[in-house]
Amino acid sequence: MQRIVKDFRRNKLIYLMLSPAVLYFLIFHYGPMYGMQIAFKDYSIHLGFTGSPWAGLEHFKEFFNNFYFFRIMRNTILLSVYSLLFAFPAGIILALLLNEIRSTWFKRSVQTITYMPHFISLVVVVGIMFDFLARDGLINQLLSALFGFEPVSFMREADWFRFLYIGSGIWQNIGWSSIIFLAAIATIDPSLYEAAKIDGASRWRQTWNVTLPGMAPTIIILLILNIGQLLTVGNEKILLMYNPITYETADVIGTYTYRKGILETDYSYAAAVGMFNAVISFSLLIIANSISRKVSETKLW
């Protein structure tokens, strides 16, 4: 007790500086967590979070029995798994390729250029996609000129959605995601390479036996974080990209929550869907972290 009083006396100003942030997180992050209780209620704007009547597990049952439950879960998980399989390694591969470049000038130029798409807004990226991938757009012009393909309305075909979502994601983020892997490579002890060379290891063997193991902790941490995000795919991008024709492959938990909650104002039901998402995601994160802790000793906490 005395310690607390003394600490407060000495650090008054520090607590003053921390207070806006603490208030901010309490209100805008813990506030919504408190508000999650409406998932078990029938929320009414007049009665508020606390005053609305209880509904039990009604909304959760409704979601699990929903005709679209399977479709939404399948789409969400597939998009996540595909991006883990294709987008995640893309950054690692680019980092490894850049690491083999001797010319600093060339390396820096490639980096600057490949970072660029990361800074373009999603609205513009998806806008350009709509333009290039239209029936009479650039891509169809090229495909028909080069291979004689029939024009396809790519953005209006459910079959193309996943490919376009993942592909454009790689285009936009490959450079940016390579930064962190390059940073990991930079921390590898150079004497390990010297030792490998003395043992007669080729460049390829050095990459395989020194570089990749050196990157492993970073890769594992990012993998854990990605698993925690398994149900949280890029809702904002999908909202821009999809339309009712492509819901079959494009509608995910986040976009469904948005339509139910914000557009149809079915707040409690949408909050239940959101809560289901948050709880599963958090559990996956904890599981991934504890598995990694046992297997590799690399951990988030």
Partner 1 sequence: MKLTAGERAFQTVNIVVLVLLSLAALYPLVFVLFASFSDPGLLVQNRGLLLLPKGFTTEAYKMVFMNPSIGTAYLNTLFYVFAGTAVNIALSSMAAYGLSRRDVFWKNAIMFMIVFTMFFDGGIIPSYLLVGNLGLLDSRWALIIPGAISAFNLIIMRTAFQAVPVELEESARLDGAGDFRICWSVVFPLSLPVIAVMLLFYGVSHWNSWFSAMIYLQDRALFPLQLILREILISNDTGSMLTSVSSGDQMPIGQTIKYATIIIATIPILCVYPFLQKYFVKGVMIGAIKG
Question: What residues does 41 pair with on adjacent strands?
Answer: 54
- Smallest separation, CB 294 to partner 1 (Å): 20
- Smallest separation, CB 250 to partner 1 (Å): 14
* Alpha-carbon distances of 153 from 30, 129, 138, 167, rounded to whole Å: 44, 11, 12, 17
Whether the CA torsion 88, 94, 99, 105 is positive or negative: it is: negative
228 binds partner 1 (CB under 8 A): yes
Looking only at residues 155 through 184 of this chain, which bind partner 1 when binding is defined by CB under 8 A? 171, 174-175, 179-180, 182-183
Neighbouring CB atoms inside 10 A of 208's CB total 13
106 binds partner 1 (CB under 8 A): yes
- Smallest separation, CB 247 to partner 1 (Å): 16
- Smallest separation, CB 180 to partner 1 (Å): 5
Look-up of token digits 């333009």:
131
Looking only at residues 39 through 58 of this chain, which bind partner 1 when binding is defined by CB under 8 A? 43, 45, 48-49
The residue (of 100 and 199) whose beta carbon lies closer to partner 1 is 100
The residue (of 25 and 70) whose beta carbon lies closer to partner 1 is 25
Contact in structure between 98 and 90 (CB atoms under 8 Å): no
Q: What six digits make up the tokens of 136? A: 């009479």
Q: Which stretch binds partner 1 (CB under 8 A): 66-74, 80-88, 136-144, 188-196?
A: 136-144
- Smallest separation, CB 81 to partner 1 (Å): 20
**Of 57, 81, 138, 158, which one interacts with partner 1 (CB under 8 A)?**
138
* Distance separating alpha carbons of residues 217 and 207, to the nearest angstrom: 16
208 binds partner 1 (CB under 8 A): no
36 binds partner 1 (CB under 8 A): yes
**Which 3 state secondary structure label does DSSP give 211?**
helix
Residues 6+ apart with CB under 8 A from 174: 87, 90, 91, 94, 114
